[in-house]
Structure formats: C-alpha cells, structure tokens
C-alpha cells in the first residue's frame, strides 16, 4: 500500500525482532512438550519488567496474551498506558502486604507465600467485592535468597487457604536456582509438580504450574510446566 502512512522504523524493528523471538520460543516450547511434558497446555507469559509499554504491545502483536510484571508500581504505569489491550496481567514478584489492594487487580498473583499475605489479599478482595486468582509460591530448593514456602509446608498451607473464599488457588509457582545443573532443575520442577498435587488434594481446582524462565524453560516444560515466564529471551538483557 503505497499511500499508507510511513511506519516508525525503530518501533517496528523492535516489534519484528520480538515477533521473531516469539516464533523461535514457541517452536522450542513445542519441541520440549513433544520430548517430555505431561499432556499439559503451555502458556507463554512475556515478562516485560524494566521494558516500556512498547514491549507489551510488541508481545501482543506477536500473539502473546499473557504479560508478567514483578513490581506493582511499574506494572500499574504500563497498564494505565495500555488500558484496552486484551492481555492478562500476571504479578510474578514478591507481594508486600501493603500492596494487596493493587495486587488483587491482577489476573493471576504468582507469589502467595504466607498466611498473612493471604489474609491481606482476602481483605482486599472482600473490600472490592471481587475474587483473586493466586498461586502458592514454593521454594523447593531451600535457597535462602528465594521467596516461597518450603515444600513440606504446602499441604497444611493449602488446607488453611480453604478459609479464604474469595482467593481462588489455581496452583503453584516456583523459581529454580540460577545456573543449576540439569539434575537439580529437574528435582526442583518435579518437586513443584508434587506441591501442585498437594494443593489439589486440599480441595482446590489447581491446574497451574508456573515454572521455567529464559535459561530453564524447556526442562520446566518437560517436568510439567503450564506457564513459562520469559523475559530476557524475548526482549534482550535487562539493565540493572
């Protein structure tokens, strides 16, 4: 179309690059699913933290419908800039209790790791007459630097969560240690899968297993991941 408006070169080059990376990642997701996998469907969550709204737009243009952010304030700015974009917003980072009111506006909160946070989220949902979908964050490896509940505490925690009617416990989220050996990654991811089973055993309709990042998503899928959270591999390295 010769008479169409000129496109903005920088923006479109970035969007093209993201679209290309999304295609490559989808191929790798499909291959991992074919090699292993547990019959699950895999959702690609594009982690746009530190990048601007244009990263969300580029991901959406490439067919990605799920976006992950780890800081509430940063996410709120992007959501305000893109009010009508039909994507699901995932809060993947640690949630402070004083941010519960904002947190419950996300489509899925991945970082539920304490009873006090469950109480705060529950109060916020009640105040807003809404429900909130949450994942129990599990620290399978026991790394001190990671947030999350020890795996052994998940059954009792899941049992306690039944009292919070407006929180819908959809499954489990975990982060593997950075740069771990494959055997360790498999142990962590299989451990998280067992925790999701514990959550189901407590009576929750929990079908989500959020695990796998840019460096380990294929192993995570082989171990049953339903949601992989990918930033660097789609958008390049983050600053800071």
Ligand X SMILES: *Cc1c(COP(=O)(O)O)cnc(C)c1O
Question: Which one of the spans 23-31, 54-62, 147-155, 224-232 is the region binding ligand X (CB under 6 A)?
Answer: 224-232
**Whole-angstrom distance, CA of residue 240 vs CA of residue 234:** 17
Nearer to ligand X, 135 or 154 (CB): 135
Nearer to ligand X, 166 or 214 (CB): 214
Query: Mask 88-107, x = binds ligand X (CB under 6 A)?
Result: ----xx--------------
C-alpha gyration radius of the chain:
18
Q: How many residues bind ligand X (CB under 6 A)?
A: 14
Question: Shortest gap between Cβ of 238 and ligand X (angstroms)?
Answer: 7
CB 199 within 8 A of CB 171: yes
**Whole-angstrom distance, CA of residue 38 vs CA of residue 92:** 23
- Assess 7 for contact with ligand X (CB under 6 A): no
Nearer to ligand X, 193 or 229 (CB): 229
Rounded to 5 degrees, φ, ψ at 173 are: -125, 140
Residue among 49, 59, 174 nearest 110 (CA) = 174
- Assess 46 for contact with ligand X (CB under 6 A): no
- Assess 75 for contact with ligand X (CB under 6 A): no
- Assess 175 for contact with ligand X (CB under 6 A): yes
**How many other C-beta atoms lie within 10 A of the C-beta of residue 190?**
14
CB 226 within 8 A of CB 14: no
Q: What is 66-108 written as a DSSP string?
A: EEEES-HHHHHHHHHHSTT---EEEE-S---GGGHHHHTTSSE
Question: Shortest gap between Cβ of 9 and ligand X (angstroms)?
Answer: 26
Rounded to 5 degrees, φ, ψ at 108 are: -150, 125
In terms of DSSP bridges, do strands 167-174 and 208-210 run parallel, antiparallel, or are they unpaired? parallel
Question: Shortest gap between Cβ of 192 and ligand X (angstroms)?
Answer: 13
Nearer to ligand X, 49 or 99 (CB): 49
- Assess 230 for contact with ligand X (CB under 6 A): yes
Query: Mask 51-70, x = binds ligand X (CB under 6 A)?
Result: -------------------x
Question: Which one of the spans 58-66, 74-82, 123-131, 223-231 is the region binding ligand X (CB under 6 A)?
Answer: 223-231
Give residues in contact with ligand X (CB under 6 A). 47, 49, 70, 92-93, 175, 213-215, 229-233
């Amino acid at each position: 179309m010769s008479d169409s408006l000129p496109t903005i070169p920088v923006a479109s080059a970035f969007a093209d690059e993201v679209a290309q990376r999304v295609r490559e990642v989808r191929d790798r997701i499909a291959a991992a699913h074919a090699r292993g996998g547990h019959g699950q469907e895999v959702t690609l969550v594009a982690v746009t933290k530190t990048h601007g709204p244009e990263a969300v737009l580029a991901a959406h243009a490439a067919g990605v419908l799920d976006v992950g952010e780890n800081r509430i304030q940063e996410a709120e700015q992007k959501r305000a800039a893109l009010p009508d974009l039909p994507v699901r917003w995932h809060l993947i980072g640690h949630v402070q209790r004083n941010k519960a009111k904002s947190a419950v506006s996300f489509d899925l909160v991945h970082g539920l790791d304490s009873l006090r946070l469950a109480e705060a989220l529950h109060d916020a949902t009640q105040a807003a007459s809404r429900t909130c979908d949450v994942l129990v964050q599990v620290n399978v490896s026991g790394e001190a630097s990671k947030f999350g509940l020890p795996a052994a505490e998940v059954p009792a925690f899941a049992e306690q969560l039944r009292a919070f009617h407006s929180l819908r416990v959809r499954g489990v989220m975990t982060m593997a240690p950075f740069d771990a050996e494959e055997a360790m990654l498999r142990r962590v991811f299989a451990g998280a899968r067992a925790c999701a089973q514990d959550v189901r055993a407590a009576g929750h309709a929990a079908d989500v297993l959020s695990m796998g990042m840019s460096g380990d998503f294929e192993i995570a899928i082989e171990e049953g991941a339903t949601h992989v959270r990918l930033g660097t591999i789609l958008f390049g390295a983050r600053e800071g």
